Structure 1
Amino acid sequence: MSSSQDLVQALKAELRAAGVTYAALARELGLAESSVKRIFAKGDMPLSRIDAVLAVLKMDFAELAARVVHAQPMRRELTLAQEQAVVADRKLLLVAICALSQWSFEQIVATYTLGEAEVVRHLLALDRLGIIELRPLNRYRLKVDKTFRWRADGPVMAFFRSQVVGDYFGGGFDDVAETLMLVHGQIEQRQATVFVERLQRLGQDFAQQHVADQRLPAERKRAYTLVLAMRSWLFSAFRDLKRVPAD
């Protein structure tokens, strides 16, 4: 959760934006200017004092909290050590994948054989790792950017390659709502970047549809896994057939 220091920093920014000096704020609060400076320098302010400052700024706490959230940098990837911590615990990795797909606490508990206390423990671990911000009633906010991805050569992707790829692509992809496509071609590199952005948006659409369908009864839903990829690559069975450009 946002710390009191984050709230105080947001208050400072709002005071600057409103042109309210410490001297002016002190007059409004009935305090000495030195006391106001000390309070802000300390960075630890009780909620009653925060409310008093918000009244001067004509803001409410929800607005301030929103400022704090928007000021937090969103992670685009984890450090190597953080990924190692996630992949070292199979259940933590599962909860991390569910969180990144925006599963609710109740849905995780109902779907997997993890007790409520166990899921809470893993959510707390993800909070410490900076993947989520855990909130009351086991709600959470993702703290990763929309472009978040596991490290290309990191431990999580290594786990997927060794444990998941064969299992996933070993399926028939022959159900009415399944498909497997392999499209090969040569395009401008700039356009390749555009296609990657489209794929990322498709992944976001899939995650948002999952959230929208959470209230549907179980009999109307089915588990799906969407895998998106694009890379400059030629199948190894054909590489020796590739014509070498003339000098």
Structure 2
Amino acid sequence: MSTTADLVQALKHELKTARMTYADLAERLGMAESSVKRMLAKGDMPLSRVDAICRALKTDFAELARRVAESQPLLKELTLEQERAVVRDKKLLLCAICVLSQWTADQIVKAYRISETECIGCMAQLDRIGIIELRPLNRYRLKLAKTFRWRPHGPVMAFFREHVVLDYYAGGFDGPAEGLLLVHGEISRSLAPSFLDRLQRVAQDFAQQHQADQKQGTRDREGYTLLLGMRNWEFAAFAQLRRPDRASTVRTTA
């Protein structure tokens, strides 16, 4: 949530952009310049005063509030409690995954057996959790950074490991534009991070292409799930066959 300090900071930014001094603002408000400085320094003012300042700046409170909201830092990760709230309800989790893909409420309702009322309710919950900022007409602003990820050992990833991973890998990966790569090898520890960087860039390219292709008709698009991973790992059954003097150094990329 935005704080009073954020609102005051936004007002100061608007004054600077408008090249309006405290003296100019004081004159338009019918106040002493010292009173205006003290008011903005303390951030102690009624909403009627904020409205008056907005009028002096030729803007309105709704526009100012929008700018304050958009200036808030985007989330790179949710808290444990936020993730628990997401996985508590499958329909809420579904809506969370959909908004991460920038689906509209109408698209969600048309694609899944979820009513408009249920969808709006889920979006209201996602707003309270902090994933989106719900706006009029069921539009929203995603409050997650491009580098956002679910907590590696959090509730959401635990849910996916238990219920989703086997379902995903049960496919043959032999359809159009499908594939599954499993590469084993030992590489320099100093170079390993560069491979992870490449995987992250591929994921970002995929996400950006998804955004760009929203302009195309639904008949020209197909749903794909890209799953990338890299870890220092060896299959447990193989590790049991290791000689005692040979530590596992196999890195696996999938």
Amino acid at match of 2:121: R
Question: Who is 2:83 aligned against?
Answer: 83
8 A Cα contact 1:8 1:44, kept in partner: no
> How many angstroms apart in 2 are the aligned matches of 1:240 and 1:38?
70
Q: Does the C-alpha gap of structure 1 residues 70 and 135 become closer, same or farther in structure 2, counting only changes over 3 Å?
A: closer
Larger deviation, residues 234-243 vs 106-115: 234-243
> How many angstroms apart in 2 are the aligned matches of 1:171 and 1:235?
21
List runs of 5+ in structure 2 lacking aligned partners. 248-254
> How many angstroms apart in 2 are the aligned matches of 1:101 and 1:144?
11
Question: Who is 1:181 aligned against?
Answer: 181
Question: Who is 1:29 aligned against?
Answer: 29
Q: Does the C-alpha gap of structure 1 residues 49 and 112 become closer, same or farther in structure 2, counting only changes over 3 Å?
A: same
Amino acid at match of 2:166: G
What SS class does the counterpart of residue 185 from structure 2 fall into?
Answer: coil
Q: How far did 1:130 drift?
A: 0.9
8 A Cα contact 1:127 1:134, kept in partner: yes
Question: Who is 2:44 aligned against?
Answer: 41
Aligned pair count? Answer: 243
Question: Who is 1:210 aligned against?
Answer: 210
8 A Cα contact 2:74 2:145, kept in partner: yes
Amino acid at match of 1:169: Y
Amino acid at match of 1:118: E
8 A Cα contact 2:95 2:122, kept in partner: yes
* 1:165-204 matches, cutoff 5 A: 165-204=165-204
> How many angstroms apart in 2 are the aligned matches of 1:18 and 1:217?
42
Question: Who is 1:234 aligned against?
Answer: 234
Q: Higher RCO, 1 or 2 (CA under 8 Å, sep at least 6)?
A: 1
Give the aligned CA root-mean-square deviation in angstroms.
3.3
Amino acid at match of 1:214: Q
List runs of 5+ in structure 1 lacking aligned partners. none
Amino acid at match of 1:181: L
Q: Does the C-alpha gap of structure 1 residues 219 and 53 become closer, same or farther in structure 2, counting only changes over 3 Å?
A: same
Q: Give % identity.
A: 57
> How many angstroms apart in 2 are the aligned matches of 1:221 and 1:15?
46
When the two structures are superposed, what TM-score results if normalisation uses the length of structure 2?
0.80
Larger deviation, residues 177-186 vs 89-98: 177-186
When the two structures are superposed, what TM-score results if normalisation uses the length of structure 1?
0.82
What SS class does the counterpart of residue 122 from structure 1 fall into?
Answer: helix
Q: Does the C-alpha gap of structure 1 residues 86 and 10 become closer, same or farther in structure 2, counting only changes over 3 Å?
A: same
Q: How far did 1:72 drift?
A: 0.7
What SS class does the counterpart of residue 161 from structure 1 fall into?
Answer: helix
> How many angstroms apart in 2 are the aligned matches of 1:43 and 1:173?
61
Amino acid at match of 2:180: L
- Out of 52, 56, 59, which is 2:55 matched to? 52
Q: How far did 1:128 drift?
A: 0.9
Q: How far did 1:46 drift?
A: 6.5
> How many angstroms apart in 1 are the aligned matches of 2:188 and 2:65?
44
> How many angstroms apart in 1 are the aligned matches of 2:56 and 2:215?
40
> How many angstroms apart in 1 are the aligned matches of 2:47 and 2:190?
49
Q: Does the C-alpha gap of structure 1 residues 172 and 195 become closer, same or farther in structure 2, counting only changes over 3 Å?
A: same
8 A Cα contact 2:29 2:52, kept in partner: no
For each residue in 1:51-92, what CA deviation from the matched residue of structure 2 results, as whole angstroms up to 9, or x when unmatched? Answer: 33425xxx8989956753553111111111111111001100
Q: How far did 1:98 drift?
A: 0.7
